[in-house]
A and B are shown apart, each in its own frame.
Chain A
């Protein structure tokens, strides 16, 4: 879509874009290019020289079982937390959309968790799921040592998934509810007149119409689970025990800033970038397609 009427002094027009261009060059394109350069060289920490090593950094990362562990658990984390938060949000949104008494109240309150910072929700869940205090302590009261996120990797994974999913239920809920409410009431009423029940109407009418939203949220939730999980991991487990929660974004941070392995961290960043770019392109494809739906 284009404007018919535009302003003729295009030199003024470019000036309006200059602040944005300066910012994205300095803080986006330069660092992104730098990351590519660093991933192909061996960087001495804090301003030493650098040696060109080609793809060696990538080779050594891909040969490292610790890295593959971090990829595997990131995928497990993304899969479980995304399906959990989206599944719960879908059910809640579908039921809120039935517009019984109190629906308005639920549509307001169920969004709240999204306003809470990942580290704050991590603190809350760290307490709620702590082995010695809070609510999971009851489990240990009857079966001592059964629940211990500090020692057991699976328990630690469960705690970060709980904190992350909780926050993102509110987020998915907003989009699902908007999608349900965009479906014309008359369509559902007509189907009801024809004698189809609530469940039948959900699967045959509502569900197909919200599939674009489902795909969109799937990509957003997966992308966020690769980035926004950082605060949760840092507060709840710091990657432990025994690397069982050392997700990709946390490993970049700990290798780069704690281990001072800038080249390795940069190479890992490039791989994560590619992963997110693929996901984003996928997302835009679906958004474009959804425009044609109308």
Chain B
């Protein structure tokens, strides 16, 4: 900086250090508590010197909450949502930017509006859709009188039914159905020079060829950013997986945390609870650490 400010510099270091302790402290406390035994974790005050039972506790938490399969479920779920968003958003943005067809603006607004309503507030009816994913189409047939007409003419009663409760697909699809990524791609596509498209067309490339051979390779940065941010977002979802995975074998790691809350009465087993919390915390934290550059870029680009 331009001037010497030793006192201010001292306080800057001090406050940033306090900030560091606040940010990392809780994670450290979880790790330390996870290394104590039952007596040590319940000591007042708890010792900040790590105990010796770290691996034993991790193992106990791992088996108690059955974390192996749950982490795999989380991985499939978060990976599926991230992949779904990356693909579907690219397709939509391509359609909106590179084609001119009637109703294009209407489609733009249909997609845009989905940014406004999070899943949490339409949770009850979305649950009903997952119980029978074809119910919207049955509803359309009923409302237009087609059900009645088909029954009159053919004698067949139409009743569309396909349940997705307790399935990966049921977990993933509703979370893919918002337009977060579409606008990230759209902004990016709009910055690509027209000359590039013209040159491609001159060389005889059709829309498909242009999309796959030119546009997608250019969008790699956006894909990494969007993929990272969506993976984290999905991994950390709680309410939706809690509702639709009634069968424990489909539960995700984050929803399983609740199983580890110590019972009231007797000494609470916080060391096991914290070991489980640590296991569930680590994967997304690793993604943040490894993908920080993309993660930050994605956040700033999608939200603005």
Contacts and interface: CB of A to CB of B under 8 A. Distances in A.
Q: Do A and B bind each other?
A: yes
Interface of A: 1, 3-7, 9-17, 19-21, 23-32, 34-35, 38, 88, 91-92, 95-96, 98-100, 102-103, 106, 108-121, 123-128, 130, 132-135, 137-138, 141, 166, 169-171, 174-175, 178, 188-189, 192-193, 198, 216, 220, 223, 226-227, 230-231, 234-235, 249, 252-253, 256-257, 262, 265-266, 269, 272-273, 276-277, 280-281, 287
Nearest to B175: A27
A9 B274 CA distance: 58
A124 B19 contact: no
Contacts of A92: 15-16, 19
Interface string B1-38: 11101001100110110011011101101100100000
B210 A7 contact: yes
B72 interface: no
Interface residues of B, number: 108
Nearest to A94: B12
Contacts of A220: 303
Nearest to A263: B124
Interface of B is mostly: helix
Interface in B167-217: 173-174, 176-179, 182, 190, 194, 197-198, 201, 206-208, 210
A169 B22 contact: yes
B296 interface: yes
A31 B197 contact: no
A121 B280 CA distance: 10
Contacts of A192: 1-3
B177 A112 contact: no
Nearest to A223: B118
Interface in B31-72: 33, 41-42, 44-46
Given A7-B201, A92-B15, A234-B238, 19 more contacts: A5-B194, A6-B100, A26-B129, A27-B177, A29-B110, A30-B135, A34-B128, A35-B121, A106-B20, A115-B232, A115-B288, A133-B268, A133-B270, A234-B239, A249-B120, A266-B125, A273-B117, A276-B121, A277-B116
Contacts of A32: 117, 122, 125
A14 B30 CA distance: 51
B159 interface: no
Given A9-B207, A21-B110, A192-B3, A216 B20 contact: no
Interface string B129-144: 1000101100100000
A138 B45 contact: yes
A75 to B, nearest CB: 16
Interface string B227-255: 00000100110110011000000000011
Contacts of B96: 17
B123 A256 contact: yes
Contacts of A6: 98-100, 197
A145 B56 CA distance: 33
Contact of B29 (A28, A96, A109, A128): A128
Given A137-B44, A269-B123, A272-B121, A20 B92 contact: yes
Nearest to A15: B95
Interface in B266-295: 268, 270, 273-274, 276-277, 280-281, 284-285, 287-289, 292, 295
B219 interface: no
B260 interface: yes
A137 B207 CA distance: 65
20 contacts: A3-B97, A6-B197, A7-B201, A7-B210, A10-B101, A14-B101, A32-B122, A34-B128, A95-B15, A98-B12, A100-B9, A100-B13, A116-B281, A116-B285, A141-B44, A230-B238, A231-B238, A249-B120, A252-B120, A266-B124
A231 B280 CA distance: 14
B61 to A, nearest CB: 11
Contacts of A175: 299-300, 303
A120 to B, nearest CB: 5
A204 B177 CA distance: 43
A3 to B, nearest CB: 6
A109 B117 contact: no
B22 A133 contact: no
B304 A287 contact: yes
B23 A109 contact: yes
A256 B122 CA distance: 11
